[in-house]
Amino acid sequence: MKMKNYDVIYPDPLPAGVILEKNIMVPMRDGVKIAIDIYKPAVGKGPWSVILAYSPFPKERSFESAKPAFYCPNGYVCVQSAERGIGFSQGQFSFHGVKAARDGYDMIEWIAGQPWCNGNVGMMGASGYGVMQWMTAPLNPPHLKALVVLATTDNYRGLCYPGGVLRKPFVLNLVSGIAQGAIWPGPVPGKEPPINVLAEIFANGEDGPFWWEHGGGWTRIDEIKAPVLNIVNVPNRLHAYYHLRSYADIKSPKKLVTTPWTNENYQPWIFETTSFNQYILRWLDHWLKGIDTGIMDEPEIAIYDNGTGAWRYENEYPLARTQWQKYYLHGKTSPQEAGGLISRTPPMERDKPEVYHNISLNTEMIAAYGIIGGPPESGTGQARFVVYTTPPLEEDLMVWGPVSFTLYASTTEEVTTDWSFFVKMGEMVPGGVPLNPVTGKPEIKPEVTDLWTPREVHIWSYGCLKAKFREVDEKMSRPGMPWHSFQRPADLKPDTVCEFQIELQPVFKTFKKGARIWLKIASDDALYSTWDSSSRYVARPLLPAKDDVYIYQDKKHPSHLLLPVIPDAPEIQPVKSPLRDAVPGAPRFTE
């Protein structure tokens, strides 16, 4: 069955070697029909192995999954599908829900039964395409033979509420795009209006059943039987944290590839780079075609070092030889200094705390009353953040793996429901800005770079935590990966020192001799909203007069950065082409 096309423009002409069948309607177990596009090889009669791209985005968008121009000539059918209720598909969109996962199962089994399929189906894709792999694969469709995935396993912690703080600008952008896809291209028989995704996200400010059922792949990832090729773009503010954390929980055959930094959240770079696709092809040929490509004889882990520009194999992640090193905060020795010090030396018995002004309280109060414009300037002249740096490194420092920051702090604030911390870790190099080791050009600044980040700083790691969610589950925590349940919020009393363990972006970089590590702590950030549906400031409509935040760095309160330092070791074996060639500036295709 075919659906009306609404004059949607497809690539014309199609890439060489590709045949397209548009808007084929596939029945689900409840009778709802989902529209798919099928890209077939133009040469040969099949049957072929199939790569399914399944996401919450319109199927006509294919830039975060398999490119037909590459895979069809290599003997694969590429199927593009959206969740129910998106584009030409019937039903109601429900945001990575249980029905969507079941639809993924039904779609795989329908594909396997078609005469052009040899019964072997894989899934591939990043972001929403990856989240739907984590939701579908634990159901273990019989004909699902392999995954290629780059995506968070946790929509609460990864996408919408990292550290328990609402990532409001991103959420608004994501949901508006999904809503457009659900309404586009116009009336479709059997299609219903989507659920109110935005209201659901705002109503579920704590982790719980809604998030476990809508993108909570981490809860069942150990049930996946299909082999998993894990590709992690580091740093990546959406996907890297919990994809890497969940890697240890995958029990099926697996591999992990951490990719070079090229641009914030730009996963399409991976699927447009020829060498990456040649590597992925070896994985798919092994599991979907039974070809011995040698990929499973290679070490399990492949890491790209953003400081050296080189690939290296390892046998496990996190690395067994990791040396967890604490870098302690020390206060300024004089008011003229720009910031404090970070060093391996533990703090002294008495070290005066640093203090900054929590401007986010005024920002959110003004916004709550609909007043446009920035907050009034502090009459005290207090800073809105504090900064620390290491002395120049005396030798290269290889940092590979999870990073966390333990902070001791107090506040004079009387209402602390929204009190949050935003921590950023960067690099400063002598005489200029950090350069990409392969291209020789300045590194592209990540989105988390704000107006108060010095030009010479490149940020490599960052994280946040809402103070009321500070409780740590020690049983779920791992080195460098503190686990917060985000279920039992507890307000803080003013002028009371508390410990906060903040998870930061994993880092895969060698910091060169002479470089300095830079750290910033603040309580506001333009990419987040500390005010959410549980805020109590609406109930107390007075601009807070007390908004000092104290950062402690003494023997009793040893605030510190925890880094996974990797000692040198003999190379297991060299990384060969095509993966060795997957570096910044590598050849790409866009069809």
Q: Which CATH number goes with the domain that contains 183?
A: 3.40.50.1820
Q: Total domain count for the chain?
A: 2
Cα–Cα distance list, 483 to 241, 242, 490, 502 (Å): 12, 11, 16, 9
When pLDDT is cut at 50, 70 and 90, the band that residue 334 belongs to is confident
Is 416 a residue whose pLDDT tops 90?
no
**How far is residue 197's CA from residue 83's CA, in Å, rounded to a whole number?**
14
What does the pLDDT read at residue 168?
94
* 315 and 426 fall within a common domain: no
* 350 and 267 fall within a common domain: no
Cα–Cα distance list, 355 to 289, 309, 390, 479 (Å): 61, 39, 19, 29
* 271 and 296 fall within a common domain: yes
* 377 and 261 fall within a common domain: no
What does the pLDDT read at residue 540?
47
List the CATH number of the domain containing 427: 2.60.120.260
Question: Mind listing the pLDDT tens digit for each residue in 486-498?
Answer: 999 998 999 999 9
Is 372 a residue whose pLDDT tops 60?
no
- What's this model's pTM, rounded to 2 decimal places? 0.94
Question: Three-class SS of residue 356?
Answer: strand
Asked, for residue 8, whether it belongs to a domain, the answer is no
Q: How, if at all, do strands 310-314 and 323-330 pair?
A: unpaired
| Token pair of 343 as six digits | 């060093």
Asked, for residue 1, whether it belongs to a domain, the answer is no
Residue 338, domain extent: 323-565
When pLDDT is cut at 50, 70 and 90, the band that residue 368 belongs to is very low
Asked, for residue 6, whether it belongs to a domain, the answer is no
Question: Mind listing the pLDDT tens digit for each residue in 236-264?
Answer: 888 999 999 999 999 999 999 999 998 64
Asked, for residue 373, whether it belongs to a domain, the answer is yes
* 435 and 481 fall within a common domain: yes
Is 399 a residue whose pLDDT tops 80?
yes
In the beta sheet, which residues pair with residue 208? none
Question: For every residue of 540-583, which 3-state class applies, written as one string?
Answer: CCCCCCCCEEEEEECCCCECEEEEEECCCCCCCCCCCCCHHHCC
Question: Three-class SS of residue 104?
Answer: helix
**How far is residue 239's CA from residue 174's CA, in Å, rounded to a whole number?**
14
**How far is residue 225's CA from residue 213's CA, in Å, rounded to a whole number?**
20
The residues, any chain, with a CB within 8 Å of residue 45's CB and separated by 6 or more, are: none
For residues 51-65, give the mean pLDDT: 90
Question: Mind listing the pLDDT tens digit for each residue in 418-457?
Answer: 999 999 999 999 988 899 999 999 998 888 998 889 999 9
Comparing CA positions, the residue from 214, 20, 179, 190 lying closest to residue 89 is 190
* 313 and 331 fall within a common domain: no
Asked, for residue 93, whether it belongs to a domain, the answer is yes
Write the DSSP symbol of residue 276. Answer: H
**How far is residue 156's CA from residue 214's CA, in Å, rounded to a whole number?**
9
**How far is residue 568's CA from residue 396's CA, in Å, rounded to a whole number?**
11
What does the pLDDT read at residue 423?
98
Distance from CA of residue 325 to its chain's centroid?
Answer: 25
Helix, strand, coil shares of the chain as percentages rounded to 5? 20, 30, 50
| Token pair of 273 as six digits | 């780079």
What does the pLDDT read at residue 294?
97
The torsion angles phi and psi of 221, rounded to 5 degrees, stand at: -65, -25
What does the pLDDT read at residue 318?
97
Percent of the chain predicted with pLDDT > 90: 77
Asked, for residue 588, whether it belongs to a domain, the answer is no
Question: Mind listing the pLDDT tens digit for each residue in 266-277?
Answer: 567 888 899 999
Comparing CA positions, the residue from 388, 392, 390, 409 lying closest to residue 339 is 388
* 443 and 501 fall within a common domain: yes
Is 288 a residue whose pLDDT tops 80?
yes
**How far is residue 66's CA from residue 39's CA, in Å, rounded to a whole number?**
11
* 208 and 346 fall within a common domain: no
For residues 61-79, give the mean pLDDT: 91
What does the pLDDT read at residue 547?
83
Is 153 a residue whose pLDDT tops 70?
yes
Asked, for residue 587, whether it belongs to a domain, the answer is no
* 372 and 416 fall within a common domain: yes
| Token pair of 289 as six digits | 């075609």
Question: Mind listing the pLDDT tens digit for each residue in 124-148?
Answer: 999 999 999 999 999 999 999 999 9
For residues 315-331, give the mean pLDDT: 97
Mean pLDDT, rounded, of the chain: 91
For residues 213-223, give the mean pLDDT: 96
Is 369 a residue whose pLDDT tops 50?
no
Report the run of H or E that residue 287 belongs to, with start and end: helix 274-289
Is 295 a residue whose pLDDT tops 80?
yes
CB of 35 closer than 8 Å to CB of 23: yes
When pLDDT is cut at 50, 70 and 90, the band that residue 545 belongs to is low
Question: Mind listing the pLDDT tens digit for each residue in 558-575?
Answer: 999 999 999 999 999 999
* 295 and 274 fall within a common domain: yes
Is 377 a residue whose pLDDT tops 70?
no
Is 373 a residue whose pLDDT tops 50?
no
Write the DSSP symbol of residue 218. Answer: G
| Token pair of 190 as six digits | 């059997």
Is 74 a residue whose pLDDT tops 70?
yes
**How far is residue 34's CA from residue 572's CA, in Å, rounded to a whole number?**
47
**How far is residue 525's CA from residue 167's CA, in Å, rounded to a whole number?**
10
The residues, any chain, with a CB within 8 Å of residue 588's CB and separated by 6 or more, are: 269, 272, 273, 274
For residues 153-163, give the mean pLDDT: 96
When pLDDT is cut at 50, 70 and 90, the band that residue 360 belongs to is low
What does the pLDDT read at residue 270?
87
Is 544 a residue whose pLDDT tops 80?
no
Is 366 a residue whose pLDDT tops 60?
no
* 485 and 560 fall within a common domain: yes
* 396 and 269 fall within a common domain: no
Asked, for residue 12, whether it belongs to a domain, the answer is no
What does the pLDDT read at residue 539?
43
